[in-house]
Structure 1
Amino acid sequence: MLASARGFWGRHRRKILVSLGVAGAGYAAYRYLDSHRRQLVRVEQRALEERAAEEIIKNQLQTHFENVQKISDTTTLPFAMHYLRSRIMEELDISHLTEKLMHGKGESSAPALTPKEKYDTWEKIKILSFTRTVSSIWAMTLLSLYVRVQVTILGRHLYLDFARVTDGAQLQEGSDTFSKSGHKDFLATADYLATYGINALITKMQHAATEILKEKQLKDPMGIDEVLETILQILKQFMGLCEDNSWINYLVPENANVYAQLMAVSSSGFDDSSLLKDVRKLDQLMSETRIVLSRNIMDRSLKKIASVVVEDLAVQIGAPIPPPGLPLAKLLAKVAQLSLPLLEEPDKNKHIQIIRSMPEVELFYTFLYANMPPET
């Protein structure tokens, strides 16, 4: 029996070893493939989990950005526009001058105005009427652009933060912390123009209007096209007076620390440095905003709004103006009234909607969000 087994082994040893080798190799291959398959499953599962986590973070970012946009559209810009309207109407009120003219005609017990007093009063009305409307054009246009720049810069920062950080919890924690301070503080600068910059703006705009209107007499005829040209000349003169883009200082605080101190004082009623927050991020956002605004994005918007305003003037007058036009004195009241629709609430303000829908404005913000220098 043993001899026959040895004989069988001797005759078939090679085949048996080959068969065992094949079986062993097959088993090893199976184990390897099974291990590889399990590893692939784990990798795919991990990738699915990472994609799901990224999707959650993206949704959180989108929600946060939409909240910022909502705050800007429903609170920041409406409040800033309301305050801007009240400041411009207050600083450029001409009702006391028109009343002075009425009283000077002997319609009250007040003594009649001398020819010089009457002339000086009309000259003031002329300057202030154009100053009020052109200031409104500039302030409304720049404020609406500024608020959109704010939201775009914030959106880009959120995206860049997401791109840099791989830890979702870390990103969410940083975003939540910043949303409570930096975002809100940055959006709050939208009322800086009406609060701190408006007086300097009006003073310089009045200088520009005085220079352009000094040769235009009250009896001189003026047509619609000449009104538009006069408005554009005042805007150009104003921008020329603002050397080195100093007009940006009317919109954006020059120094984040000083601005934060002003906010602390206004909120508490006294100088309390303990109320100051970390302003490093706020300073970064404000610096970026100043750079963006210096790219001169508003020229086309200002010209567009000036054209629309003059079209509104033609509608107010009603009948076509015969050449060479109406006496300037008869146009002043209507010119002054043009400022009112310019400073309407955003949801009722057609001028803001026109600016937002301009293709070049939309293109600019697209480039800005992508952090690419737009061509202007």
Structure 2
Amino acid sequence: MLSLRDFWRRHKRKVFVSVGILGSGYVLYKVYVAHKQRSFDLERELEADELLKAQLQTHFESIQRISDSTTLPYAIHYLRTRVSEELDLSYITERLMQGKGQPNTLTQKEKLELWERLKILSFTRISLSVWAMTVLSLYVRVQVNILGRHLYIDTARGLGSSHDENDPFDRHGQHEFLATADYLSNYGMNSLIQNIERAATEVLKEKQLRDPFNSARLRKTIIQILESFMSMGGPHHWVTYLLPENAIIYRQLAATSSNDFYGSSVLPDISRLEQLMAETRAVLSSADFGNIMKISLKNVVDALMEDIGLQEGGGEPSLGVPLAKLLPRVVQLGSSLLEEPSRNKFIQIIRSLPEVELFYTLLYANMALFC
């Protein structure tokens, strides 16, 4: 017992130091292991983040291709058909040609009225084509980005699959939501034509058929018509041409136009459709969308004027040509605006605008910015 006490008394300092060293080493080891684990976890999180970013980018590009190759071509084709039907100018031009070949068939007053009507409808048609093509191409891209983001998030969370036959939204809801791209042509066209014609009548009332027009004056006239139209009603009145007030109204309109719209007795969840439409309406009403719409419209009109400048030929373009002589070219240009998207240079111009590309990148990445 005494020897143990003597040993402790002689060596307790060494024991304390040894224990301290061992304890510190153990603590350092645990800290090292914890640090290594945190580093490993961080690396895995970074790898997962990079993988997610890559997946998002791939999915984003896929969504844009769907818009460009499927949804938009169909919507533009239907729009072109409706514009041709509702703003058919052949009757007026045939009457004028008849009056030119057979002078006694039309009075001077009738000729003047026909020319005035042709003037108004020619500018109505080209202004409507500029606006509808531009806004529809932007709108369809909004649609597919919102839908694509929802589907990606749902799939990532394991909430759904595009191959799930038991999910009514997957089977019907995507089609129903994308089908709203035709709302403009089906239900908004008559009101749109009336209001753009009213704007054209106001802008053109002091412009005579003999007045000289060049590219600059034509550009100014079309821009004035578009601005006059956009200033009608409330700040976002034009959204009503693209979207119904709510999903119930849309469901009712779709049901009356087709007895078997869904092809099944199972209807998509209307709350999900309403959510998608509400998000779309919020984006269209945002200041950011208004900005890219103005930029796109301006660039489309500028591109049109380049075509007019090339077509004027002979003489000095700055002198212009009489408005009456320019009207057939105006009608022709209006038709070129509604060509199939893969051949439509105006749609290509809109797609390539940096402001437009940035807008859709932000939309896809963070829908909350627009709500």
TM-score by length of 2: 0.79
CA contact (8 A) 2:129 2:334 kept: yes
| Map of 2:274 onto structure 1 | 283
Report the Cα distance in structure 2 between the residues aligned to 1:346 and 1:71, rounded to whole angstroms.
13
**Which of 211, 217, 223 is equivalent to 1:232?**
223
**Pairing 1:188-267 to 2, within 5 Å after superposition:** 188-266=179-257
When residues 243 and 49 of structure 1 are mapped into structure 2, their CA distance, relative to the original with a 3 A threshold, is closer
**Pairing 1:1-376 to 2, within 5 Å after superposition:** 61-106=56-101, 112-154=105-147, 161=153, 171-174=157-160, 176=162, 182-266=173-257, 268-269=259-260, 274-294=265-285, 295=287, 296-297=290-291, 298-321=293-316, 324-368=319-363, 369-370=365-366, 371-372=368-369
Aligned Cα RMSD in Å? 3.7
3-state SS of paired residue (1:241) = coil
| Map of 1:166 onto structure 2 | none
- Letter of the structure 2 residue corresponding to residue 92 of structure 1: L
Report the Cα distance in structure 2 between the residues aligned to 1:333 and 1:234, rounded to whole angstroms.
18
Deviation of the 1:333 alpha carbon: 0.6
Report the Cα distance in structure 1 between the residues aligned to 2:172 and 2:57, rounded to whole angstroms.
19
When residues 31 and 268 of structure 1 are mapped into structure 2, their CA distance, relative to the original with a 3 A threshold, is farther
1:231-279 deviation per Cα after TM superposition (whole angstroms, max 9, x unaligned): 1121122122243421111112221122134345545447999443113
Deviation of the 1:142 alpha carbon: 0.8
Q: How many residues align?
A: 359
When residues 273 and 120 of structure 1 are mapped into structure 2, their CA distance, relative to the original with a 3 A threshold, is farther
In structure 1, stretches of 5+ residues that fail to align are 1-5, 163-168
Deviation of the 1:65 alpha carbon: 3.7
When residues 23 and 217 of structure 1 are mapped into structure 2, their CA distance, relative to the original with a 3 A threshold, is closer
Deviation of the 1:192 alpha carbon: 1.8
1:123-150 deviation per Cα after TM superposition (whole angstroms, max 9, x unaligned): 2211111111111111111112212333
CA contact (8 A) 1:72 1:187 kept: no
Deviation of the 1:343 alpha carbon: 1.1
Report the Cα distance in structure 2 between the residues aligned to 1:87 and 1:212, rounded to whole angstroms.
24
CA contact (8 A) 1:81 1:345 kept: yes
CA contact (8 A) 1:264 1:276 kept: no
1:307-365 deviation per Cα after TM superposition (whole angstroms, max 9, x unaligned): 22122112112224466532221111111111122112222222122223333334444
In structure 2, stretches of 5+ residues that fail to align are none
- Letter of the structure 2 residue corresponding to residue 81 of structure 1: I
Report the Cα distance in structure 2 between the residues aligned to 1:48 and 1:322, rounded to whole angstroms.
65
TM-score by length of 1: 0.78
Moved more, 298-307 or 120-129: 298-307
Report the Cα distance in structure 2 between the residues aligned to 1:146 and 1:49, rounded to whole angstroms.
38
1:187-241 deviation per Cα after TM superposition (whole angstroms, max 9, x unaligned): 3322221222122111211111122222222223333322122111211221222
When residues 58 and 175 of structure 1 are mapped into structure 2, their CA distance, relative to the original with a 3 A threshold, is farther
Moved more, 262-271 or 63-72: 262-271
- Letter of the structure 1 residue corresponding to residue 349 of structure 2: I
Report the Cα distance in structure 2 between the residues aligned to 1:300 and 1:316, rounded to whole angstroms.
25
Deviation of the 1:62 alpha carbon: 4.7
Moved more, 274-283 or 357-366: 357-366
Moved more, 331-340 or 360-369: 360-369
CA contact (8 A) 1:92 1:132 kept: yes
Larger radius of gyration: 1
Report the Cα distance in structure 2 between the residues aligned to 1:252 and 1:66, rounded to whole angstroms.
25
Report the Cα distance in structure 2 between the residues aligned to 1:240 and 1:35, rounded to whole angstroms.
70
Deviation of the 1:299 alpha carbon: 2.1
**Amino-acid identity (%):** 50
CA contact (8 A) 1:132 1:339 kept: yes
